[in-house]
Structure 1
Amino acid sequence: MANISEEDSRINSWNTELSQTLIPSSVFLGICIVVGIIGNSLVILIYGLKLRGAKERYFIPILAVVDLLALCETAGFNISYNVSPVRFKGQQLCKWSWFFGYMTSVMSIFLLLVIAIQRYLKICRPFGKQMTLEWKRVAVLSTFIAAALISAPIPVTYGLDPAYSARYNVTGSACRRLTQENRWLSLIHAIVCNAIVAGVVWALIILYTLIGRKIHSQMQQWKHQRTNDNNVKMTNLNDGTSGTNSADRNKQTMFKITAMFMLISLIFIVSFSPKVVIFILECVDSRFWDSLSYSNRLLVRFLEVLFVINNIANPFVYAFLDVKFSQQMKKIFCDLDYSL
């Protein structure tokens, strides 16, 4: 009993040192939760209720719901992980926290791909078949099913894994990808997940490159037309009800919304890249985390959770690039100030 008590004491000391080292990461995640809940709730309120029925913005409230769920699950779980990095309790809690975190994050990624396809059809194939409301609903359901299938092995490949400290000469339990049990299945699943993320990233790059080229080409045509036709130019300046001017405004709105989604996809790629790299390092070195010094662990841990920015950045993008969203948001805050 004395030996067990002494071992527990050493594990507690080790866990305390690690958790204190990871406090900056936990504070960052806590701030993200607060900002993300407020931001995504505003997006759901405005796009889901105030701007309901806007075809160009159909996927925005759905993406906000998924981002909100992903944020609360992943950021909340990662805070608990930081508190108990080598003394995590609850095998099932560990497994299913990873599962739901993966599923919501993957669904968010797939939704970005669906949105990119929709924008491609709208911009590059305007006279071809477009996504109908029915197909949009099918696409959303498909992203949920695909995310669930990809995440299905998580309860088997993640769990309480032995973590060893040479300094304290003790073995704790870390909630992470299993490095001893089901190792090969875990590696195969990791490779598949990385391949899927890489495929989505390349698809986004290709689609938005084609979209960007098309938008640039049309903008050049507009500039040329307005330079050579003074009458049309005067009409655009003085007659806000002109059919031509109205069509131009609709195209400009469509282009701005497309640019908005391009920026959102870029934020995803930048914020998610470090996690993919760390994912690969975990596969190459089964004792990757245990070999890190405290300062390096904090740095790597911060880079690993940086992907939550993908779940909180969208409301800021909408506020700067979508006039209708910013107008509705100002109206809400003005009403709040008036009521107070």
Structure 2
Amino acid sequence: MENMSAATMDAELLRLNDAKAELMTPVVAFLSVLMSCGVLGNVMVCCFYGSRARRSSHGTFISTVAMYDLIICGLSIPMEIVDLRLFYTFTNVAACKAGRFINHFGAIGSVHVLLVIAVDRYRRICKPVKKQLSLKQAKIACACSLLVSVFFSWPSILFYTPVAVDVKNDFGLNITGHDCTTTRDTSFNMYISVFNYVYMTCFISYTFVLCVMYTLVGRVIVKHNKTRKSLIKKQESSTSKLTSLETSLSNGDQNISSSIPGKYRKIDADRLKNTQTRPRTRTISTTTDRRKSTLSETQEIKNLNFSVIMLTITGLFVLSFLPFLVLSIWRAVNGEYEPDVLSDAKLVAFQFGLRSYFLNSALNPFVYGVLNSKFRSFVYRCFCGCSSKIDNLHAPSTSDAS
């Protein structure tokens, strides 16, 4: 009888688990799309910016962020999908601990690099005359992000484990399932509270610093754009006036020239020829100055464009983490098992919100594609180049000349 009862409970547990897994299909589909787009996109980012990491701090920063995003999309999201499919039957201790560690590692490393980038952007845009972050210092800062991530993530290995939970059912059976969450061991309660408090405090502090720095950077960018537009308008106005003046003078010279006798006109032509053969020192100097000014302006535009990209990435990071932060606070305050207190629709929404931070890692490559024309061209060449090669392989051959 006991064996029959145990077999019945196991069968009922599997049935309830399958029902919950089917309920979570929208969340699994959402995560699958993010995983596919994120892995492909971040591989492209690593290939494009990784080759530039040796030459500029910009490439170093972006390739490091892409590395963390690739870890999240390639390892964390698949673990989350498994967690949702095994809603009541997650019993693998190693997989539970590894999945939660990778989640924390990727998120902490990414936000640390974003903070360093914000400091770099602030110094380059708001204090351009001061000493800037060198390529070597940028690489050291990115390497330090690995150590910071490990330091803040290792407690998750201790705190997360498959925990026994009571599963409600229609038969009133005492069914026990397992969920990958923080341990229920009371001896860990104080440490888990400190762990969560430190994470919340760090996230709020980092978000505040990022918002303040990029607000200052944004003000300078807006001011620069206004000044640039006004200068372009003035330059266009001056060019228009100069063109009309040259046209007027040219017409006047033709009228005067037609009224001058032929022999005097010949003398003026000889003088003009001699004038044209003189050294053009002033012209060369002016051209050099213009070239230097153009190079300086090009570098400034690159700095501003990179700042806009990183401002967008940071904004996306903050917005994607907000639902997760709010729901994590609610979960800590509530303290009950969510399936017991939430309806099916609310539980699905809750699972969506708990994984909202994956949006940041998956959508970052699309931000680069929209705001960086060179990266967009690189992706286009990769895909269209491959497709054209395949078409050429399958195309019928005609002649060597063709």
Both proteins in one fold, TM over 0.5: yes
For 1:65 and 1:192, how far apart are their aligned partners in 2? Answer: 25
Gaps of 5+ in 2: 241-286, 391-402
From 61, 77, 80, the counterpart of 1:78: 80
From 328, 331, 334, the counterpart of 2:381: 331
Task: Using the TM superposition, give the Cα deviation of residue 328 of structure 1 relative to its aligned residue in structure 2, in angstroms.
Answer: 1.9
Task: Using the TM superposition, give the Cα deviation of residue 27 of structure 1 relative to its aligned residue in structure 2, in angstroms.
Answer: 1.1
For 2:239 and 2:297, how far apart are their aligned partners in 1? Answer: 12
Task: Using the TM superposition, give the Cα deviation of residue 299 of structure 1 relative to its aligned residue in structure 2, in angstroms.
Answer: 0.8
1:273 is the counterpart of 2:322? yes
From 330, 342, 349, the counterpart of 1:292: 342
Task: Using the TM superposition, give the Cα deviation of residue 249 of structure 1 relative to its aligned residue in structure 2, in angstroms.
Answer: 2.6
From 348, 353, 361, the counterpart of 1:303: 353
For 2:95 and 2:381, how far apart are their aligned partners in 1? Answer: 42
Give the structure with higher Rg (CA): 2
Residue 322 of structure 1 is matched in structure 2 by 372
- CA deviation map 1:146-174 (0-9, x unaligned): 11111121122111122223335422110
Q: Is the 8 Å Cα contact of residues 163 and 183 (structure 2) preserved in structure 1?
A: yes
Q: Which has the higher contact order (CA 8 A, sep 6+)?
A: 1
SS of alignment partner, residue 315 of structure 2:
helix
AA at the equivalent of 1:39: G
Residue 120 of structure 1 is matched in structure 2 by 122
**TM-score normalised per structure 2:** 0.78
AA at the equivalent of 2:331: E
Task: Using the TM superposition, give the Cα deviation of residue 198 of structure 1 relative to its aligned residue in structure 2, in angstroms.
Answer: 1.0
From 17, 24, 31, the counterpart of 1:29: 31
Residue 44 of structure 1 is matched in structure 2 by 46
SS of alignment partner, residue 163 of structure 1:
strand
Gaps of 5+ in 1: none
Residue 308 of structure 2 is matched in structure 1 by 259
Q: Is the 8 Å Cα contact of residues 72 and 106 (structure 2) preserved in structure 1?
A: yes
Q: Is the 8 Å Cα contact of residues 57 and 134 (structure 2) preserved in structure 1?
A: no
For 2:233 and 2:293, how far apart are their aligned partners in 1? Answer: 15
Q: Is the 8 Å Cα contact of residues 56 and 135 (structure 2) preserved in structure 1?
A: no
Task: Using the TM superposition, give the Cα deviation of residue 214 of structure 1 relative to its aligned residue in structure 2, in angstroms.
Answer: 1.5
Q: Is the 8 Å Cα contact of residues 60 and 139 (structure 2) preserved in structure 1?
A: no
Task: Using the TM superposition, give the Cα deviation of residue 219 of structure 1 relative to its aligned residue in structure 2, in angstroms.
Answer: 2.4
Task: Using the TM superposition, give the Cα deviation of residue 123 of structure 1 relative to its aligned residue in structure 2, in angstroms.
Answer: 0.7
For 1:280 and 1:225, how far apart are their aligned partners in 2? Answer: 51
For 2:302 and 2:201, how far apart are their aligned partners in 1? Answer: 35
SS of alignment partner, residue 162 of structure 2:
strand
AA at the equivalent of 1:103: F
CA RMSD in angstroms, aligned pairs only: 2.2
**TM-score normalised per structure 1:** 0.92
AA at the equivalent of 1:31: V
Residue 218 of structure 2 is matched in structure 1 by 212
AA at the equivalent of 2:102: F
For 2:361 and 2:325, how far apart are their aligned partners in 1? Answer: 16
Residue 200 of structure 1 is matched in structure 2 by 206
For 1:50 and 1:25, how far apart are their aligned partners in 2? Answer: 36
Task: Using the TM superposition, give the Cα deviation of residue 289 of structure 1 relative to its aligned residue in structure 2, in angstroms.
Answer: 1.6
SS of alignment partner, residue 327 of structure 1:
helix
Aligned positions, number:
336
AA at the equivalent of 2:367: V
Task: Using the TM superposition, give the Cα deviation of residue 127 of structure 1 relative to its aligned residue in structure 2, in angstroms.
Answer: 1.2
Residue 12 of structure 1 is matched in structure 2 by 14
